[in-house]
Amino acid sequence: MTATTTASPKGRRRDGPRRPGLGGASRRRSAGPLFVAPFMVLFLLLFLAPLGYAAYLSLFQERLIGGTAFVGLDNYTQALTDPQFLHGVGRVALFFVIQVPLMLLLALLFALALDSGLLRLARVIRLGIFVPYAVPSVVASLMWGYLYGPDFGPFAQIAQKLSLPVPDFLSEGWMLGSLANIVTWEFVGYNMIILYAALRTIPTELYEAAAMDGAGAWRIAWSIKLPALRPALLLTLLFSVIGSFQLFNEPKLLMNIAPDVITSSYTANLYAYTLAFTGQQVNYAATVSFLLGLVIVIASYAVLLTANRRRTP
Amino acid sequence: MTTLTPPAAVAPAAERTAGKFRKRHRPSARRRSTPLTIAMLAALAYFLLPLLWLLIASTKSTQDLFNSFGLWFSHAPQLLTNIKETFTQDDGVFVRWLLNTVMYAGVSAVGAALLAAAGGYGFSKFRFRGDRAAFNLVLGAVMVPTTALAIPTYLLFAKAGLVNTPWAIILPSLVNPFGLYLMRVYAEDAVPDSLLEAARIDGAGEARIFFRIVLRLLSPGLVTVLLFTLVATWNNYFLPLIMLNDPDLYPVTVGLSSWAAQAQNGGAGASSDMFALVVTGSLISIVPLVVAFLMLQRYWQSGLASGGVKQ
């Protein structure tokens, strides 16, 4: 491709019929890079450079004697056998496997209910379910933390009034579920809106045709709505992969009230944070961040590949 | 990465732009279902009860938080006192946190939206060397978790002397790969090629065309990216937590969490009055965003639609 002279008005010719889609693009190549440049420059500086820097740092080790030394992949072999890192990843993987399907199923049910046209107060319900998305995860975690708590949490208060055993939502056995509840509370509405918006784009003629053929509401939902929701479901699933594996805010906040249950390596991300900012192990923290990023990219690709394989059997 | 946007599949849904999908005619004669409505109202209660608790708890002193039932008001409501105390604690640092948050979120959102709009428009309406590779690179970055970037970004910024300055929060928030993707998809539909041709024939320069015509056509998509970056930056916790150590620079999220830690460590529960401040501060900090979302709902809905449908 060569640069053209879009800049000078005389260089602009009116040549031939425009090809649809390309929109006469051949005549204005030079302006494109200029529009894209500001984003791309910052992208390189703030996205790729840190990634590259993390990769670089992960190849070194801070030694007591001799300063920083190149150690090749030693940090990686260390991380891959580090029980704290592996437990952190395992815990978020478990979280992902349980919380995400539950959350997406709820979001899907809510979206289908809203789209069915059978609801009264649909607008109020839609907005109300979405509202938690506007609540910062810090506030959500603080709030739920207090709600769970044994001191002034209403669950504990009700249990005490009824002389029932007080549920200990902040104990070891409950904690992952309690975290899952917070994340679900925050994001069901967000996912619901994505799915609902996708449902609204299905042409109603399809429903009418299906109804003429004798399909009931369930059949329409299963055979028309669900297949049409595939891309939207895939998007919500991808976002959930990315979100779950980097779980940080909620456990970090609940750590205050349950320090014995949530250790500094409770999730992989919390571990990387601890290494970098309490342990001063910068190189190892970079390794852990980088590996965690890799885990997420691999998980995302796995989701995409599975989805694509099913699309074309 | 092509799996996310086969370009051929992107084009056909051209008629669906902001808000248009609402106009779709629905057979409204169907009967409403009471059982379904009741089930959904029960679900709604789950989402609103914690917020109701927060509202009620904000009217209580720390002592009453411990001594009265969580889901009902205490005998001595004192919302105004709590608000006043929240705003005056530590020489009014909470007001600073709010202002910081507004500033970080506002600048990031406007900047990110403009960058994404220019980039998305560039990718959708121009062909140039390497455009596909560059776009795919950005698209791939959608999958890279921000927190995997945060620690290396911190280390880079520490070298550049940017740590503990507002830039440390604003700069990383300006790059929004998903926003660029949305704007490209949006520009594809909302900016007609013929209009661009006409403007060029009239002798308008590319910059003028972008600022005078394209930005206006893109405004619904622009507002969406703006709104979502605003929320992301407003709610951001990890980045400011690692980047800032001067409480005067904190956004409200980091400030509140530091107060919460103080309240928790402040010794024998009810003797510390920090709990009431944390709760009231939490309430105050969510009001602006909730109001913004309720007022701008037609934008965020159509915006989410563009992301979820066109693939």
3-state secondary structure of B244: coil
Bridge partners of A68?
A62
CB-based contact, A287 to chain B, within 8 Å? no
CB-based contact, A266 to chain B, within 8 Å? no
Per the CB < 8 A criterion, the answer to whether A134 and B52 are in contact is no
**Residue B259 pLDDT > 80:** yes
Instruction: Supply the mean pLDDT for chain B.
Output: 83
What's the mean pLDDT in B211-233? 88
Q: Which residues of chain A have pLDDT under 70?
A: 1-29, 310-313
Element (H, E) at B90: helix B79-125
Contact B256 A139 (CB under 8 A): yes
Determine which of A130-139, B19-28, B106-115 has the lowest per-residue pLDDT on average: B19-28
Q: Which chain B residue shows the shortest CA-CA distance from A155?
A: B70
CA dihedral A96→A97→A102→A105, nearest 10 degrees, is 100
A 141-160 residues with CB below 8 A of B? Answer: 142-144, 146-147, 151-154, 157
The position carrying tokens 């049910």 is: A109
Q: What is the pLDDT of residue B305?
A: 61
Q: What is the pLDDT of residue B22?
A: 45
Per the CB < 8 A criterion, the answer to whether B85 and B276 are in contact is yes
Query: What DSSP character marks residue A68?
Result: E
Residue-number span of the structural domain to which B252 is assigned: 79-307
Provide the number of CB pairs (under 8 Å) joining chain A to chain B. 338
The pLDDT-based confidence of B267 (bands split at 50, 70, 90) is low
CA dihedral B175→B176→B181→B187, nearest 10 degrees, is -80
Q: What is the pLDDT of residue B303?
A: 63
Contacts of A198 in chain B (CB under 8 A): 305, 308-309
Length of chain A: 313
Query: What DSSP character marks residue A61?
Result: E
The pLDDT-based confidence of B4 (bands split at 50, 70, 90) is very low
Per the CB < 8 A criterion, the answer to whether A138 and B237 are in contact is yes
CB-based contact, A44 to chain B, within 8 Å? no
CA distance to A97, B54, B247, B275, B277, per residue, from B78 (Å): 44, 14, 27, 14, 12
Of A176-185, A273-282, B23-32, B134-143, which one has max mean pLDDT? Answer: A176-185
- Sign of the CA dihedral running B279, B283, B284, B285: positive
Q: What is the pLDDT of residue A8?
A: 39
CB-based contact, A220 to chain B, within 8 Å? no
Determine which of A103-107, A176-180, B104-108, B302-306 has the lowest per-residue pLDDT on average: B302-306
For residue B175, the one-letter residue type is V
Q: What is the pLDDT of residue B136?
A: 92
Q: How far apart, in whole angstroms, are the C-alpha atoms of residue B210 and residue B219?
A: 12
Contact A193 B25 (CB under 8 A): no
Helix, strand, coil percentages in chain A from 3-state DSSP, rounded to 5:
70, 5, 25
pLDDT, tens digit, 9 for 90 and up, residues A160-188:
888 888 888 988 889 999 999 999 999 99
ipTM > 0.90, yes or no: no
**Residue B76 pLDDT > 80:** no
Q: What angle do CA A139, B299, B215 make, to 5 degrees?
A: 120
Percentage of chain B beyond pLDDT 70 is: 84
Contact A47 B180 (CB under 8 A): no
Contact A39 B119 (CB under 8 A): yes
Q: How far apart, in whole angstroms, are the C-alpha atoms of residue B190 and residue B223?
A: 14
The position carrying tokens 């403009």 is: B114
Q: How far apart, in whole angstroms, are the C-alpha atoms of residue A97 and residue B235?
A: 25
Question: Best residue in A5, A19, A35 to probe B by mutation, most B CBs within 10 Å?
Answer: A35
Determine which of A188-202, A289-303, B140-154, B228-242 has the lowest per-residue pLDDT on average: B140-154
CB-based contact, A121 to chain B, within 8 Å? yes
CB-based contact, A259 to chain B, within 8 Å? no
Query: What DSSP character marks residue B11?
Result: S
Q: How far apart, in whole angstroms, are the C-alpha atoms of residue B73 and residue B64?
A: 9
pLDDT, tens digit, 9 for 90 and up, residues A220-269:
888 889 888 988 899 899 989 988 998 999 999 999 889 889 999 999 99
How would you label B149-167 residue by residue, b for 16+ Cβ within 10 Å and e otherwise?
Answer: bbbbbbbbbeeeebbeebe
Residue B54, phi-psi category: left (phi > 0), alpha (psi -120 to 50), beta (remainder) = alpha
CB-based contact, A26 to chain B, within 8 Å? yes
CA dihedral B105→B106→B107→B110, nearest 10 degrees, is 110
Q: What is the pLDDT of residue B266?
A: 67
In degrees and rounded to multiples of 5, residue A4 shows phi and psi of -105, 175
- Sign of the CA dihedral running A202, A208, A210, A216: positive
Contacts of B32 in chain A (CB under 8 A): 118-120
Q: What is the pLDDT of residue B120?
A: 95
Per the CB < 8 A criterion, the answer to whether A161 and A80 are in contact is no
Contact A118 B33 (CB under 8 A): yes
Contact B118 A39 (CB under 8 A): yes
Determine which of B180-189, B199-208, B220-229, B289-298 has the lowest per-residue pLDDT on average: B289-298
Q: Smallest Cα–Cα separation from A178: which of A105, A247, A131?
A: A247
Q: Smallest Cα–Cα separation from B186: which of B60, B269, B299?
A: B299
For residue B130, the one-letter residue type is G
Per the CB < 8 A criterion, the answer to whether B178 and B307 are in contact is yes
Residue B245: CB atoms within 10 A of its CB come to 11
Question: Best residue in B22, B144, B279 to probe A by mutation, most A CBs within 10 Å?
Answer: B144
Per the CB < 8 A criterion, the answer to whether B302 and B247 are in contact is no
What's B85's domain CATH number?
1.10.3720.10
Q: How far apart, in whole angstroms, are the C-alpha atoms of residue B129 and residue B134?
A: 9
pTM for the full predicted model: 0.85
Q: How far apart, in whole angstroms, are the C-alpha atoms of residue A20 and residue A186?
A: 44
Q: What is the pLDDT of residue B307?
A: 54
Contact B308 A232 (CB under 8 A): yes
Contacts of A253 in chain B (CB under 8 A): 257, 260
Contact A113 B118 (CB under 8 A): no
CA distance to A42, B89, B96, B228, B250, per residue, from B170 (Å): 12, 27, 17, 15, 13
Contact A136 B141 (CB under 8 A): no
Domain presence at residue B207: yes
User: Distance, in angstroms, between B299 CA and closest chain A CA?
Assistant: 12
Say how many domains are in chain B: 1
The pLDDT-based confidence of B285 (bands split at 50, 70, 90) is very high
Domain presence at residue B47: no
Domain presence at residue B10: no
Contact B305 A53 (CB under 8 A): no
Instruction: Sort strands A60-63 and A67-70 into parallel, antiparallel or unpaired.
Output: antiparallel
Q: Angle formed by the axes of helices A282-311 and A226-245, to 10°?
A: 170
The position carrying tokens 């045709």 is: A209
CA distance to A104, B39, B258, B286, per residue, from A101 (Å): 5, 20, 33, 28
Q: What angle do CA A257, A87, A74 make, to 5 degrees?
A: 125
3-state secondary structure of B79: helix
Per the CB < 8 A criterion, the answer to whether A267 and A255 are in contact is no
Q: What is the pLDDT of residue B14?
A: 37
